[in-house]
Chains A and B, each alone.
Chain A
Amino acid sequence: MDLTPFLVQALTGLYKGSLYWILALGLILIFGVVRVINFAHAAFYVTGSYIMYTFYNHTGNFIISLIMAMVLTGALGVALEVTVIRRVYKLETIYQLLATFGIALIANEAQKLIWGKGVVYIPIPETLKGGVSVGGVILNHYMTLIIVAGFLLFIATILFMNNTVTGLRIRAVWRDPVMSEALGINTKLTYTLVFFIGTALAGLGGALTVPLISVGPGLADYLIVTAFIIVVVAGLGSITGAYIVSILVGVFSSILVLTIPELDIVVLYMIAALILLFRPQGLFGER
C-alpha cells in the first residue's frame, strides 16, 4: 500500500491545524480572562485576511502587510471591547454571546460591502516558493513556515504566561478577577490588553491564511464552529490542550478526507460529541 497520499494529507493537516491553533488561542485567552465567548472571533480572523490582502496589493511587502493585519485587527478588537463588550461583562452569559453574535453579523456584512462577495487571495512570497522533500513528498516552504510559526507561538505563549510579569497578571485575572483587583492589578486594562492580544492573533492567523486558501464570505461561519469545537474538546481554558487538539483536528480531518470523503466532517464532529459525552470538561480541562 502506498502511503504517500496519507503523508501528503498529514502534512496538509499539520499546517491547517497550526492555523486552527492560532485562531483557537485568541478565543481561549479571551474566554479565560475576559470570560466572554467571542462569537465574532472568526470574523476578526477573516478581517485579518482582508487587511493583509489590501496592504499586500498596495505595498507588495509581505512582512509589512502581516504586521499591519495584526495591529489593525487588534485595534479593531480594542475599539469593540471599549465600546460594546465592556458593557456586557456584568450581564448574563446569554447576552454576551448575543452581543458578539451581533458583531459577527455586522462584520460579515461589512466585509462583503468593503471587499465584495468574491474570494480574495495573494500569491505566496517569492522567497518561500520552493519546498523541501519530506519522505518523498514536497513540503512547501510556506507551509513549513506556518507549522513552525504555530509551534513557536505555542512556546512563546507558554513562556509569556509563565515567565513574565504581564503573564503573571493575566493569569491572576484569569484565576480570580476580584482578588486581582484587590491586589492592585488593573483588571480593566488587562481585559483590554487580552482582547488586543486575542484579536491581533486572529488577525495574524487570517493574514497567514490568504496565500493558501481563498478567503471569502462564509469562511468565518465555518471557522467559528471549528474553533469552538477545538476549544471545547480541549477543555475551556487549556492552552496546551488547544494546541494538541488543533493539530489533531487538522491532521485527522485531512486524513478523513482521503479515507471517507463522503463523511469527513460528520465523523469529526461525531468524535467531538462523543468525547464531550464521556468527558464533559474536555480532554485537558479541569473539573
Chain B
Amino acid sequence: MFLPPRLRVLIDGNIIALLLFIGFLAVIPLSGHRFYMYIAVLIMIFGMFAMGYNILFGYAGLLSFGHGLFFGVGAYSVALFTLNVYRDPLVGVLFSIPIALLTSILVGVLTLKHGKVYFAILTLALSMIFWSALVKLRWITGGTDGLTGIPKRGVLVDLSAPTTFYYFILVFFAAIMLGLYALNKSRYGLLLRALGANEDRLPFLGYSTFTLRMIALTVSGVVSALAGSLYAVFYSVVTPDVAYWTFGAEPLVMSLIGGSSYFLGPLVGALIFVSLTTAVARFAEYWMLLLGAALLAMVLFFRGGLLGFLESLVGGLKLGVYRRWRF
C-alpha cells in the first residue's frame, strides 16, 4: 500500500465490507424491482437506527430501553416541521438534528448519573412519558392516529419518484455509516469502547465517565432520530407506535443478532431482522415468539451474535471484517 500511515490505519475489513455493501445498495434500483427497493430502504433506516443504538449499547455498555424516544423525536419533528413550518422533506430531516441533540442532552442529564440498571429503567420511563404525551396531546400530535401527509415533494427537493427517494436515503445512510466508522477509528471511539470495557479505570486516566457517556448518548440519539425522520418521510405517516418502548427495543435485538461487540454487527442484525420480519410476517402472525426465542438463545448460547458465531467457526481465519471490542 502506498498510503501514508495516518490513512492506512483507516483501512480495514470493516470499511471494505461497508463500501461493498453501499455499492451493492446503490445498484439495487437498477433491477427495477420495487419490492427489493422497499426492503433495502427499510434495511438502511433500521441499519442506521441499530448502528446508532449500538454506540450506546455495544460501545459504552449502556442498555437503553427508550430509544423509541429518539426515533420518535426525529419522526415527529420532521412531521411537525414539514406540515406547519416549511414544506420540504430535506429541510425537515435536517431540522430534526438540533432537536435530537437537545433531547439527547436532556435525557442524558436525567439518566446518566445513576448507574446502569437505573439507566435502563429511566430511559424506559422517559420514552413512556414521551409516548403518552404523543397519545394525549391530540391537538398537536394527532393522538393515536398520528400525523399524515408528510410531503415527499417539497419546496427545495422532490423525492416523489421512488428512485430519487431511494438515493436520498442512501446518501444519508452512507454519510452516517462513514461518520460512525470515523468515530470508531478516532480517539473517542476508543474511549467509548473503554467505557464499556472498564468504566472504573477511565477516571484514573483523567477522563470523565459522565462526559463520555453523554457523548455516546448524543451520537446515538442523533443517529437514531435521523433514522426516525427518514422513516417518517418514507411512510409519510407517523404514529405514536414508533415511540413505544417495544419498538425501541428492536435495535437492541438487531444489535444482539448481529453481534453487539462488532462494528458492523448491528447492520448485519438489521439486515437479518428486516428480511426475516418481512418474509416471516407474511405467513406467521406470531413471529415475536420466534424473536423472543432467538433473543433467549443469543443470551444463553451466542453472546457474540452472528458475527461472533462466524468468528468462532473460522477462528484462525482473521479477515479483519469482524472485530471484537471486548477482550
Binding site for B on A (CB under 8 A): 37, 84, 87-88, 91, 93-95, 97-99, 101-110, 112-113, 221, 225, 228-229, 232, 236, 262-266, 269-270, 272-273, 276-277, 280
Contacts and interface: CB of A to CB of B under 8 A. Distances in A.
Closest 3 A/B residue pairs (Cβ) = A105-B292, A102-B295, A106-B292
A102 B288 contact: no
B136 interface: yes
B121 A232 contact: yes
Q: How large, as a class, is the contact surface on chain B?
A: 35 or more
A101 B61 CA distance: 17
Interface string B94-127: 0000000000000000100110111011101110
Q: Is the interface of B mostly helix, strand, loop or mixed?
A: helix
B117 A266 contact: no
A269 B121 contact: no
Given A266-B133, A280-B118, 17 more contacts: A37-B121, A84-B300, A93-B63, A94-B57, A98-B295, A108-B292, A109-B286, A225-B245, A228-B125, A229-B125, A232-B121, A232-B125, A269-B125, A269-B129, A276-B114, A276-B122, A277-B110
Contacts of A262: 136-138
Given A113-B286, A273-B110, A276-B114, A98 B299 contact: yes
Contacts of B117: 37, 93, 236
A101 B136 CA distance: 27
Interface of B: 57, 61, 63, 110, 113-114, 116-118, 120-122, 124-126, 128-129, 132-133, 136-138, 244-246, 249, 252, 256, 286, 288-289, 291-296, 298-300, 303
A106 B286 CA distance: 10
Contacts of A97: 63, 120
B125 A110 contact: no
B61 A109 contact: no
A164 to B, nearest CB: 29
Q: Is the interface of A mostly helix, strand, loop or mixed?
A: helix
A263 B143 CA distance: 12
Contacts of B138: 262
A214 to B, nearest CB: 19
Contacts of B122: 232, 273, 276
30 contacts: A84-B296, A91-B299, A93-B63, A94-B57, A94-B61, A98-B252, A101-B249, A102-B295, A106-B292, A109-B289, A221-B245, A221-B246, A228-B124, A228-B125, A232-B122, A236-B117, A264-B136, A265-B128, A265-B136, A266-B129, A266-B132, A269-B125, A269-B128, A270-B129, A272-B125, A273-B129, A276-B110, A276-B114, A276-B118, A280-B114
B132 A102 contact: no
Contacts of B288: 105, 108-109
B126 A102 contact: no
Contacts of A102: 292-296, 299
Contacts of A266: 129, 132-133, 136
B289 A110 contact: yes
A236 B121 CA distance: 11
Contacts of A272: 125
Given A99-B299, A266-B133, A105 B128 contact: no
Contacts of A101: 249, 295
A228 B118 CA distance: 10
A94 B129 contact: no
Contacts of A99: 296, 299-300
Nearest to B260: A94
A266 B127 CA distance: 11
Contacts of A88: 299-300
Given A88-B299, A97-B63, A266-B132, A112 B286 contact: yes
B288 to A, nearest CB: 5
Contacts of B125: 225, 228-229, 232, 269, 272-273
B42 to A, nearest CB: 21
Contacts of A269: 125-126, 128-129, 132
